[in-house]
Structure 1
Amino acid sequence: MTLRKENILIVDDDIHILELLQRHLRSLDYHTFKAVSVKEALFILKDTFIDLLITDIQMPEVDGLQLLKFTNEHYPDIPKLVVTGYPSVTGALETFKSGAVDYLTKPFTKEELRLAVAKAVTNQHGKSQTRKVQKAPTQTKYGDMVGASGSFQKVTNIIDRVKDNKATVLIKGESGTGKELVARAIHYTGKFSRAPFIAVNCGAIPENLQEAELFGYIKGAFTGANENRNGFFQAAQGGTLFLDEIGTASLAVQTKLLRALQEKEITKVGSQKPEKVDIRIIAATNADLMENIKNKDFREDLYYRLTVVEITVPPLRERKSDIPLLVDKFLLKYGVEYKDRLLKISPEALSVLERHHWPGNIRELENSIQRAVIMADGLIGVKDLPDYLKYEIEFPQTGFVPLKVMEKEYVKRVLLHTQGNKTKAAKILQIDRKTLRDKLH
């Protein structure tokens, strides 16, 4: 049985030291990843199982100490080895406080490096096995999704059952809940991940162009068709075609979709010759398709063809325990992108986020964190959050207030959210502008 090579991440802004370390470690039969900055290292840590981190301390923008602290908080089981050309007693103490297991001073010999790495990796083997076993039942990351709530686990359990077959899947959920992320997780975590993944927003394609865009067309099929052209179905051959906002598809397109699902073949616009297709279709909607069926806007037979497997993505208000994990994800993403720093959020600001109802779901949360990162100078506080979140109404812990008072406060909050736009406020409140004006008076 061949043992897996340990993955070692080396971080140093000096390219010569980086290459020297990589050459030594490869000769010692380790697998290495290189990063010339903390920013680059974070992306490797996010997507790769790392057995040992080796980092310099003195680096521009974000230094090695911040990387050590971040790794200690988010990946506590990864041993950390520091290599630096600026040794000092104070620096060594700070390094060990940040979670490093050893400290090498440049220049060092290959034998010193070998001993330090071997010691760190050997001590970690037992812990690594424990980490793998313990993480499985409480998985917090799946594809690009994060969560630990029961509703999140329910979604990932279904993904596990469908990712390695080509059963048709219908994903339901409110706008902003991450339906496309679910579709991408099905595709990219399964055995067809190397095949194409084509995402199509049906609502963004004009109705008169939907058929040509999806199925392709032949030269002369209509005015402007100057050549043969493949559609999204042909582009997704062998892989996955994700049809978002499927409820907006025209009835003509629905008829051809039904045939594609039943017969595994399509016909280009203007052609009489059917073509075989081998793809998995994942559709998504935030609409009530059963209501569309009643209104004769959606084919019932197509609905049942699409719902071989159905996944309902819960709104964020039903999985509030996942908010801290989502906040960490977005802080990492936008902190690195905008500030080249690792930002944190205060407990008070996090409490505000956990209290909010999130009608815009995860997309609204991401936008709020994106804004907060831009506005913050350091630790993200309540002051850095959007105004409509700062002044969130809390129901009193004791006692009650009249309905008119609560209604007044809620209307004020909606107007604050829309920045005084009465049309948008009326739409959110689901009343007409005249009724809103009466309430304002």
Structure 2
Amino acid sequence: MTDTSDLKLRSFDMGDLEQFKTVFINENRGKPIFLLRFQNISTISLVEFIQLIPQRIADIEPSHRELFRYYAYGDKKNLLIGVAPLDHSGMENLANFDAAMGRFHDHSVRTGTMNFDFGIGRTQCNFISYVEEIFRELDSSSLKNLKDNLVRWSWTYLNRVNDYFANERPDAVIQPIIHYNHRDHTFSMKGGEVFVGGEAYAGYSDLIRDIPHDQDLNRIELLIIEKLIMSCNGSPGLLKFNISPQTLIDTFDTDEKVTRFHELLLKQNLNPQNIRMELIEKPYEESEATLKSVCRRFWNFGISFAADDFGVKSQSHQVVLDLGEMIKEFKLDPISFKFKADQDLTKFLDNLAFIDYCRRLSDNREAIITAEALEDIDSLNFLITHQVYYFQANLFCRKIWIEDYKDRFKEMQKLPETAVTKILSSPELTERLKGVGNIFVLARDLDLF
């Protein structure tokens, strides 16, 4: 291995592929990393070509010239160059490597100075995955990008997805959870459910549409969680992250990976006691590892679980029974619980019995019941009467940027019930609330608290 300190470049000898992978990835955990693949380099020596790459990347922004570290391995037939920022300085131009390499390639071909094929793989370097898993993703995506570039001169649709994961920008939104304190009759924000959202993607559905069918969706789901956790750096309150049971089982199959997950939380200034994994309603299969055994690993670090779409016939019901004390939240859709005159009274009474059953389960586990999709004040009063005190609904607050959530957390506390009643009982104020999107903000505008 040779070291060129001026360019912060390390070259690994042929046969040292494992050392290249290990050094490149382990030295840069937690940073956006890139794997540049070059094939069929001609009319220039290998050493000269390698030394050109930092210069071309510096063309993105001259002030960034000294802010990257490089790792090179291979020959002119197949050269791999790993690139990573030296620190977490929050540079915004990392995703433009495509443009830098594209201009370099275009100029080289037009002027006849050299020729080469290239492809780029990238990822927000995982805290949790093994070196081999991370490298396999970088290797395969850079090769696919290279093949796409050979077929047509346009960037593959994979790039936007990878840009999202590689960029350090805190792209995330949170749907606040509002708690009603029946002792002092006030409403307060206690935390929220964190979702994909930001400049790159408006939500999960947009992101999923950009992912090719041949990709490992379990791994994508893990990357999403890691990205969201990093976006939540230092966020207060209870934070919930969605994960499918199958991904949980397949991804966190060792104590080491759960330990890394825990370390990621600590590095992002998050309290594991305030982290909750919401098990979404998807079928799963157990083999050597069971859902309960994997969840226990998280539980040992203080991380709890929520059951989504809880119902008697749902998969979540069996999950709740299996996981026992590890379930600290039941998610209910209250729409069906509200009695209407034209509905079957027996069904309504059955729903009341189910709410009572949920309360008994939650009491046994010291868990909460959270109502989603709350639509009006009548439903709110109905649920409060039946001792359901947590709400995750646009009726109180729409999704907000994670940075806004951090700034507003202290302000969204102790809203008097009288203010909520006044706003939600008035058609005019309710309509105004839809525009404002935050009942605490509107109440302050109206001088109600």
Which of 1 and 2 has greater Rg?
Answer: 1
Kindly indicate which of the two structures has a greater share of residues assigned to helix. Answer: 1
Larger fraction in strand: 2
Q: TM-score, normalised by structure 2?
A: 0.29
> Could you state the TM-score of these two structures normalised by the residue count of structure 1?
0.29
